[in-house]
Structures are given as C-alpha cells and as structure tokens.
Amino acid sequence: MSIKVLIVDDSALVRQVLREILSAQAGIEVVGAAADPIYARDLIKRLNPDVISLDIEMPRMDGLEFLGRLMRLRPMPVVMVSSLTERGSEVTLRALELGAVDYIAKPRMDIERGLAAHGDELGDKIRAAASARLRRTALAVPASHTADAILPAIADPITSTEKLLILGASTGGTEALREVLVRMPADAPAILVAQHMPPGFTQTFARRLDSMCGIHVKEAEHGERVLPGHCYIAPGHSHLLLARSGANYTVELNAGLPVNRHRPSVDALFRSAANCAGGNAVGAILTGMGKDGAAGLLEMRNRGAHTIAQDEASCVVFGMPREAIALNAAAEVAPLEEIAGRMLSRFARGAQRAIRL
C-alpha cells in the first residue's frame, strides 16, 4: 500500500516540485496539496494522509502553530520543509521539539533544481516518517533538575582527555541527543557527536544545546583540542574525526566525499575513535534511518571500546541501531533515558547509585 502524502506550502512552485518529486518515488502517493494550514486542516479530515510535508512561513497560520495544534489534537508524521537560513534552522529545531519527525532543507536559490537534487533523500525521509514512533510532547528534563542532579558526579572525577564519549544519530537524533546531553554532569569526559544535518543548521543546534546543558556544547573547529566537560558537534559541511597531537586528542574536520551518503558521517567518526582511542572510548548509536554508524561501532567494539545501541521502543526510527545490533556491534542495548548513565558508568571509579527520575 502506498504512503499517502499531503503537501502544505504557500509556494505554488514548491507544491508542484514536491508533487513531481514524490510522485516519482516508489511507494509514495501525493493525495493533495494545500497553500495554508487552514485548508490543510480540511484536507487532513477528508484525505487522511499518512505523512505531511509542512512549510514554516505561511499565510493565515504559522507552520509552527499549526504543527503544535496538530501534534496535540491529531498526532501524525510531519516532515518540515525549511529554508537554509539561520532563522530557518532555529525554527526547524523548534519544530523537531514539537514533534516533527524530520526536515528537508529548502535552498534559497534555484529551488526547483535544489529540491530535485534531493529527491531520493526526501523519499527516504517520507518513508521513515510513515513508520516513525511519534512523541506527543518533546522529551524534556524537569526544569527543577540540573544536569548534576540527574546524574551524580563521577565518584573519582575524570579530568583526562584520555576518556571519550562518542555519539552518532540521524532521524529523531536532535531530540535524542538533547535527552542524553542534558543528563551529563559538568565533569563528564569529552563528547564528540555526528548528527546528520546540513550546513547552517549545526551551529544553531550546538548553541541551542549549550543553553540547556551543564557541559559546554559547540560546533567543532578544525585543530582544536578535545577537552573534558565539552561536547563537539560535527559541522554540516564536514566529517568530524578524532585525531591526536602528542598526548592530546584534537578535532580533525574533513570535507571529503560523503560516507554512506552522509557528510558528516557517523561511521567516519566511529572509525576515527576506534583508531585513536580504542578502549578509552564509549560509543553509542542512536535513532536514525539507514545503516551509517553500524560498521564503525563494530570497529570501536573490536578495538576495546564499550558500545551501546538505543533500543527499538525509544527510537523514532530504529534503522541505525537495528543495523548495529545485527552486526553484533553493540555490547548492550538500552532505552534512551538510560544511555547517558550507562556511558558514564564505564568510567566511574566506585559504585554509582540508581537514579529515579
């Protein structure tokens, strides 16, 4: 049975281009298109689509307001169509917090050719959204909790860059990473993250996480030293690799060819961690479609690192963790809310008490 898609965008050109792109994708049927959320509301009732593609800036009702109402009253998979601007990235991240499954970046110039170049990617995202697990509300840590209150400081705090936490994610990963990182105490080992995200979005994503976390979160810069209490997000234009300079770990950015169709690639990060850190690292693969990261996580495990895969029940899309588990790359499988604690416990000296949230 085909996946029924409703397109919601105020641009007639974008509606036409998206209709042509999606209609050419196997297993996808465009059942309707709306120029604004008010009309879209009527079409949803009449056409009962499986997935909605949703623009942000539209007449009569803002896309975010419509998304918020939709997720409260009739939750369904939504893929945002967002412009490649700083405002576009801010609003898109807010949409993901509200419950959107994924997004596609709308180019600022030559929209028709730019969207057409990402036709297969859009088709994959629509298919993944159709089978995604929806959240009625964004994952959140109670406002009264600080990161240090959620997870106790490590009994013998680790201040050496010899210990590293390595994370990879894709679809659903922005919220999953937030759930993991807000639980990290200020004295956590250094953290490196590869999240599938285009240029222009990763810096905004890092700033947003930094405002929420007890650790310092930033977009990674080439050549900088990797420090404890810091999290380095792969920029959207480059692979993030772990390197060494003498006794110190450093960041290496590589703008080479995509790996598994992605740049940044989770496999690229995991393989560099396997080579540079071995058993001094813990790797975790989170929600996402495809198989990027599975082979790299296996390399980490084979080099002595402890490895974790997010469990199916807590994933938005179980693709990447499933592939890692199938390869026997994960030493353990855990629900999202336990991953921060399990990663930290590998380096704790002394017993950690159980945490009740």
- Catalytic residue IDs: 170, 196, 292
Strands (E), the chain: 3-8, 28-34, 51-55, 78-83, 102-106, 164-169, 190-195, 216-219, 230-233, 239-245, 248-254, 281-285, 306-310, 332-334
Helical pair 202-210 and 173-181, crossing angle rounded to 10 deg: 30
Residues of 121-139 as b/e, b for ≥16 C-beta within 10 angstroms? ebbbbbbbbbbbeebeeeb
Question: Residue 36: how many CA atoms within 13 Å on its side-chain side?
Answer: 7
Helix, strand, or coil (residue 15): helix
Alpha-carbon distance of 356 to 279, in angstroms, equals 29
Pick from 79, 15, 25: nearest CA to 50 = 79
